[in-house]
Copies of this chain bind each other. A is one copy, B any other.
Amino acid sequence: MTAEPNEIKLKAIGTVRSEIKEPSRQKHQDIGSEIIIDSDLTEALDNIDEFSHIIILWWIHKSRRPAPMKVHPRGNPENKLMGVFATRSPDRPNPIGKTTVRLLERRGNVLKVRGLDAIDGTPVLDIKPYIPGYDSADNATAPPWMVKE
């Protein structure tokens, strides 16, 4: 055992199945994908279909390492250089993706969702129900060009 003192270890709970095979910046709102949860965790999905939306935390396994301190948002050099924590860049110190998706169907250990911007083969770290009022922020402001139309 030679783990670093502050090291935190995770293990994927499942995998994304998507038609998107490589990282891209294409619009993902309408993309359907499946999340295959490890079959020994099937029971932990019970009741999830009582929610219309769920939050997926996933491991951005194709991110650049080491992560840069600053990036041009969306990889567009016309966007000003910003601290990486002020962006949603996949290249970040702990590359964890967080996406709110529409839950279409749960069947056993498979979740069908819409709007997941994670590529095929992405390891999934956690599934959480989306709770209006807790996950949403009223009157939140952001630079206008970063807000989804």
Contact = CB atoms under 8 A, between A and B. Distances in A.
A6 interface: yes
Interface string A9-28: 11111000000000000000
A27 to B, nearest CB: 12
Contact of A88 (B80, B129, B146): B129
A125 interface: yes
Chain A residues touching B, range: 35 or more
B86 A70 contact: no
Nearest to A4: B11
Contacts of A76: none
A139 B83 contact: no
A131 B142 contact: yes
A148 B126 contact: no
A85 B4 contact: no
Contact of A52 (B4, B51, B142): B142
Contact of A11 (B6, B82, B98): B6
B52 A141 contact: yes
